[in-house]
A and B are shown apart, each in its own frame.
Chain A
Amino acid sequence: MLNTVFGSLSVGVTPSTNSYESIATVTVGSATPYVDFTSIVSTYKHLQLRMMGFTTNNFGAQFNSDTSAVYSYHRLIGDGSNASASGASSTGRTLATFGAGNTTTSYPTVAIVDILDYTSTNKTKTLRTLAGHDNNGSGEVMLYSNLWTVTPAAIYSIRILIENGSNIGAGSHFALYGIKG
C-alpha cells in the first residue's frame, strides 16, 4: 500500500515491572447462567474485568453473593442513531448491570469494567464500564457507572450473570486483573 509508511522511530520497549496482574480467567465452554470469581485476594487497590462475550441481554455483576436489591446504575448509550441517558436506583436492582448485551449473538460484545477501591471497608463500591458491540448495521456503545449500596465491605467474590437470567454464551471470555496502588 502506497500510503502505508512505518513510523520512523519505532523501537522495542523493554518490559518493566508493573502494577497490573492477571488474577484469573474463565472461558465458557458451553452456555452457563453465571461465571464466578472467588477468593479474590485483597492485595490490590483496584480490579479490572475485561470480557468478550455472547448474550442476548445485559451483563451484570453481584458481589459477595449479595442477591438483594442493592445495586444501581446510570448509563449513556449510543445506538448509532441516538444518544440517550438513563438510570435506576437500587430499588429492584439485584445486580450491577454494566451493559454489553447484544441481540445478535454471533457478534461478540466487549466490556472493560473497573471496580474501584474494592477492599475499602468505609466506602461503598463503585464501578465504571466502557462496553459495546457493533454488528455492521446495528449495535451500541455505552458507558455505565454502578453503585453497590450496602454497608461498605471488601469484595471477595464476583458473579457475572445476565440481567434477564439467560445464559452466557459459549466462547465468552472473562479475565480479572488486579491493579496495585
Chain B
Amino acid sequence: MAAGSTYTPISTTTLGSAQSSVTFSSFSGYTDLVIVCANLKNAVQQTPFMQFNSDTGTNYSSTWILGNGSSASSSRLSNSSSGILIGDYNIGMSSTVPSTAIIQIQNYSNTTTYKSTLGRYNLTTTEVYAIAGLWRSTSAITSIALNAGGSSNWSSGATFTLYGILAA
C-alpha cells in the first residue's frame, strides 16, 4: 500500500542577480533530497562545488566519469575542502552556454553513516558527467551550499529547486 505522494518541492531560488552561492537550510522531515539546477552559467569559469553544514574541512571527495563527445575518462578529487563536485572540474561551467545539474542526496539526516551523493551534470555543447560524492561526516545535513567556485558567481537567471522525498 502506497504511503502517499512525495517528491515534494521545498524551495526554489531564481537568481535575479549574480550570486556566489545559493544555500538551502530548511528541509527537515524527508528521507532523500534532490536538487535540480538549471540555466547554470559561471560569470568566470570556475569549478562549482557543494558543501554541507558550512563545513570547510577537508572532508569531501568526488569520483566522476565524463564524456566530451570524442572520449570518456574518469578522475577523482579527494580530501577536498571545497566540497563535492557539481560540474566541470578545472574547466568550470561555461560563462555563456547554460548547464544543468541534478544532485541526489540520500539518507541525508542519518547520524550513523557518512553521506554519499550522486550527481549528473550536462553541458550539451561539450561534456556530460556522472559524479559520486562523499562527505565524511555522520552529522545530519542541515544546510546545503551550492558554490559557484573561486571568485566566480552564478549568473542571473539560474534556478535551483530543492525537492524532498519521503520513504514509507
Interface residues of A (CB under 8 A from B): 1, 3-25, 41, 50-52, 76-83, 85, 106-112, 130-137, 139-143, 171, 173, 175, 177-178
Contact = CB atoms under 8 A, between A and B. Distances in A.
Contacts of B8: 15, 18
B64 to A, nearest CB: 6
Contact of A23 (B107, B160, B168): B168
A139 B74 CA distance: 11
Given A3-B20, A13-B9, A131-B118, A22 B167 contact: yes
A25 B166 CA distance: 10
A111 B104 CA distance: 10
Contacts of A111: 118
Given A7-B160, A175-B167, A12 B116 contact: no
Contacts of B72: 76, 78, 83, 85
Interface string B1-36: 111111111111111110111110000000110000
Given A21-B2, A23-B1, A80-B74, 9 more contacts: A1-B54, A15-B8, A41-B1, A50-B167, A52-B106, A78-B72, A83-B66, A108-B113, A171-B112
Contact of B15 (A7, A77, A134): A7
B130 A133 contact: no
Given A23-B168, A83-B73, A7 B9 contact: no
Contacts of B133: 134
Contacts, number: 213
A132 B113 contact: no
B65 interface: yes
B100 interface: no
Nearest to B25: A6
Given A78-B63, A108-B114, A109-B116, A132 B132 contact: yes
B2 A16 contact: no
Nearest to B80: A136
Contact of A21 (B4, B15, B17, B79): B4
30 contacts: A1-B21, A4-B145, A7-B15, A7-B19, A7-B160, A9-B14, A9-B16, A10-B12, A12-B11, A17-B5, A18-B8, A19-B5, A22-B166, A23-B2, A23-B168, A52-B107, A83-B66, A110-B116, A110-B118, A110-B132, A133-B63, A133-B116, A133-B134, A137-B61, A139-B134, A141-B74, A142-B65, A173-B107, A175-B32, A178-B2
